[in-house]
Structure 1
Amino acid sequence: MPSVVTFLIETNALLREGLGRILSETAYSPAALASSLHEIGPVRTREGCTTIVIMDAAHDHDESCRQARMLKDEDPTARIVMLFEQYDFRQVLNAFHAGANAYLMKSVSCEVLLKTLDLVLLGETIFPAKALCSVRDKGPSFGIENVGVLSSRELAIVRCLVDGDPNKVIARKLNIAEATVKVHVKAILRKIQVKNRTQAAVWGTSRLLDDIQAPEMKAAG
């Protein structure tokens, strides 16, 4: 298993301490525990290590997504695991678009949490099974034929949108200018007939899993 540095962000002090003690006996023993990302400061991946941030998304979901975006801007390779209490499809999409690598109910067992961390460390994306069903049931009503109108560069950018990457990260990954990314994103939205990046990411997830080899998404039970 790759070397990992884990940070735990939980607003509830009792839950934070309890989860910290559970993780302390595993490979994911937290390097720091805090009630917000601001308390930890800049999270930078150590050489040869993967950073995993486990963060509470139940207290203030919008703020959690904002912190996730900030973290991804600072370190695009960091893995983010969000914990929530009540399922909301729109919040799942927001977390996905913010760059979350896993989205788990706080009621899951320790075994499920640790298995999820193992998969996330290997590059998997884990979301509730209910969310994946919703993606297919509620996704934009256009077909796979739209794939044919996208260039290879645009398909690569769709893969990045599926990952939740901001334009700056996409530009770095594809070695192109950020302004060029913006032009491509606008073209993609027009071609697949969606209004924003989140819908494009949903389209990529629900329509392109097999066709452009988008990152595999596994459903947490």
Structure 2
Amino acid sequence: MTEHEHTDQAQAEQQTRRQVRVVLVDDHRMFRTGVQAEIGDTGTSGVDVVGEAADVDQAVTVVTATRPDVVLLDVHLPGGGGVEVLRRCASLTGDAEHPVRFLALSVSDAAEDVIGVIRGGARGYVTKTITGPDLVTSIFRVADGDAVFSPRLAGFVLDAFASTDAPPVDEDLDRLTQREREVLRLIARGYAYKEIAKQLFISVKTVESHVSAVLRKLQLSNRHELTRWATARRLV
């Protein structure tokens, strides 16, 4: 047996010896169902999903009530996003006896999203392309206090925390909500309003409202200026 195989076997044995209690926070019910199915398909019984939530308020309520070991947290949620959940659950993450640890699980691989939730207190960040077995392993590692990142994303965090001269927050970007940032990036990538609405599961009218809010907050006149602004900040 190779060293890698021995490590995998040891991890599998460790996972079957104990239960990690998990709460799923994502605003898409089908995705939450899919995550549960993926975890079950790994053949382990080590992950016990004890609650679900679809927005910030639900997340805070469920996490506070269940006190799970790990929260799988989407970055973009109705009510203020994953960062708001982390802010309102700060006392739980800092609990010395039974800390609740957060692992971001998001479709976004944007640097500002990764850095935002890590600054907010999350222990790791993986994208939704992760496999079921790798997700189970990540959950156990975060439960044990490790920091876990999808390979490419770790560089964002290292760069952000290594450059002490860089300002911790982009004040202009910080004026935008999580959803406005999503719309901003998609506009800058050339998506039409109808395409954005379809991708974010919102109406075209809501997209128009978000774009108007972004232009107003950033004091820009049109989507061409917005694209230049986003490109200059490497948000595209």
TM normalised by structure 1 equals 0.55
CA deviation after TM superposition for structure 1 residue 15, in Å: 0.9
Residue pair 1:8, 1:54 contacting (<8 A) in 2 also = yes
- Tell me, yes or no, if structure 1 residue 51 matches structure 2 residue 73: no
CA separation of 1:87/1:115 partners in 2, compared to 1, >3 Å: closer, same or farther?
same
CA separation of 1:55/1:139 partners in 2, compared to 1, >3 Å: closer, same or farther?
closer
Unaligned runs of 5+ in 2: 1-13, 171-236
CA separation of 1:85/1:28 partners in 2, compared to 1, >3 Å: closer, same or farther?
same
- Structure 2: which amino acid aligns with 1:78? V
Q: Which residue of 1 aligns with 2:39?
A: 23
Q: 1:72 aligns with which of 90, 94, 97?
A: 90
CA deviation after TM superposition for structure 1 residue 194, in Å: 5.6
Unaligned runs of 5+ in 1: 142-191, 199-221
Q: Which residue of 2 aligns with 1:94?
A: 116
Residue pair 2:19, 2:45 contacting (<8 A) in 1 also = no
CA separation in 2, counterparts of 1:137 and 1:65?
A: 20
Partner SS for 2:153? helix
Higher helix share: 2
CA separation of 1:97/1:62 partners in 2, compared to 1, >3 Å: closer, same or farther?
farther
- Tell me, yes or no, if structure 1 residue 13 matches structure 2 residue 40: no
- Tell me, yes or no, if structure 1 residue 130 matches structure 2 residue 130: no
Residue pair 1:3, 1:50 contacting (<8 A) in 2 also = no
Sequence identity (%): 16
Q: Which residue of 1 aligns with 2:205?
A: none
Deviations 1:62-110 (A, max 9, x none): 5111112212234421110111113111211111101111211101110
CA separation in 2, counterparts of 1:140 and 1:32?
A: 36
TM normalised by structure 2 equals 0.52
Q: Which residue of 1 aligns with 2:137?
A: 115
Q: Which has the larger radius of gyration?
A: 2
CA separation of 1:117/1:194 partners in 2, compared to 1, >3 Å: closer, same or farther?
same
CA separation in 2, counterparts of 1:42 and 1:112?
A: 25
CA separation of 1:195/1:134 partners in 2, compared to 1, >3 Å: closer, same or farther?
closer
CA separation of 1:90/1:119 partners in 2, compared to 1, >3 Å: closer, same or farther?
same
- Structure 1: which amino acid aligns with 2:52? L
CA separation of 1:133/1:6 partners in 2, compared to 1, >3 Å: closer, same or farther?
closer
Number of residue pairs matched by the alignment: 146
CA separation in 1, counterparts of 2:165 and 2:46?
A: 44
